[in-house]
A and B are shown apart, each in its own frame.
Chain A
Amino acid sequence: MKKKFKVSTRRIIQIISFIIFNPYILLNPKTGKVLYQGKIKSVCVPILNCYSCPLAIGSCPLGALQQTIKISQIPYLIVGFFGTIGIFIGRYPCGNFCPFGFLQELLYKIKSFKFRVKRPLRYIKYFILLLSIVVPFIYKEPFFCKFICPAGTIEASLPQIIFNPALLANISWVFYLKIFFGISFIFFSITTKRFFCSTICPIGAIYGLFNKISLLQIKYDKNKCTKCGVCNYVCPMDINIYENPKDIDCIRCFECVKKCPYGALKVSNILKK
């Protein structure tokens, strides 16, 4: 019997988000410019999306945060931006809008050996977030963009070097370090559910802090739950939502709500009793 191919609404939202945040060369293949320089670059996108990507039309909020700290200014706009989104929807952008998360979910579909991320490793992202704030302030270097960001490597470094090979003359050891992180990212994305989101991503770390207090919540009914494990099986972040519906790693994709056979989980808001 033929297997029915079905695309979920979340997948469609992820594809549309990718196109909305990254339409530049797709829409303008004949301009010859490999970087959008229009006014939309003044606006941050709510997800990790390198602003040096030839496709990007918006700015990366983490890059903007680090660059603002680097020039010794208080990043009011970025903090307000993260906070306003976080207070309403928590990590929802990670699960539904982020093209990098989408890429990881696609990579995880490749058949290979799989392993899980241990709980303590999930807190590494807070250490990286701390470094992403402290290092630009003290050493005037955008730590995450410069030394780690695999989004920068995959979305910006490689395409920019392909379009402009003259850049190769200026590469330093940092480039090779970033290539190493890029390859590691691909490897771990194949073997582990959203490895980057759960252990490294500082944007996910920021939004994760809001999961506890955001308007958008998941409500768990322990009387209906049998702990069958379906929620964990379908969860792109590999968490047990019944242990903590406000988990910092819940990306509010609501796969567990849709798939729970007992209806123990439902979408709610924090103001509801």
Chain B
Amino acid sequence: MKKKVFFLILLFIFLFLLFTGIYFKQYEQIYNFGRFICFDCIGL
């Protein structure tokens, strides 16, 4: 029972963070990072 509650609390926290990120449209930033060649990644 204790484990189940702990698991559900953590799941709730992470889902909350995930949906907060979606609410703030952070996926658009991720898109902007990835749509051009990342010069840091290729060492230039």
Residues of chain A at the chain B interface (Cβ within 8 Å): 35, 37, 39, 41-44, 50-52, 58-60, 63-64, 67-68, 71, 73, 75-81, 83-84, 86-87, 141-142, 145-146, 149, 152-153, 156-157, 160-161, 167, 170-172, 174-179, 213, 215, 270-271
Contact = CB atoms under 8 A, between A and B. Distances in A.
A78 B21 CA distance: 8
B7 A39 contact: no
B40 A80 contact: no
B43 A80 contact: no
A206 B3 CA distance: 21
Given A44-B30, A59-B34, A52 B20 contact: no
A77 B37 contact: no
Contacts of A77: 17-18, 20-22, 24, 26-27, 30
B38 A63 contact: yes
Interface of B: 3-4, 6-7, 10-11, 13-22, 24, 26-31, 33-44
Contacts of B19: 80
Given A83-B10, A156-B41, 18 more contacts: A35-B37, A41-B34, A43-B27, A44-B30, A51-B34, A52-B38, A63-B34, A67-B29, A77-B24, A77-B30, A80-B15, A152-B38, A160-B37, A160-B42, A171-B44, A172-B43, A179-B43, A271-B7
A52 B43 contact: no
A142 B43 contact: no
B41 A52 contact: yes
Nearest to A173: B43
Given A80-B21, A145-B40, A73 B7 contact: no
B40 to A, nearest CB: 4
B44 A145 contact: no
Contact of B29 (A71, A142, A172): A71
B27 A75 contact: no
A227 to B, nearest CB: 28
Contacts of B37: 35, 52, 156, 160
Contacts of B11: 84, 87
Given A73-B29, A213-B7, A145 B35 contact: no
Contact of A75 (B16, B26, B36, B43): B26
Contact of B31 (A42, A87, A179, A215): A42
A152 B28 contact: no
Nearest to A54: B37
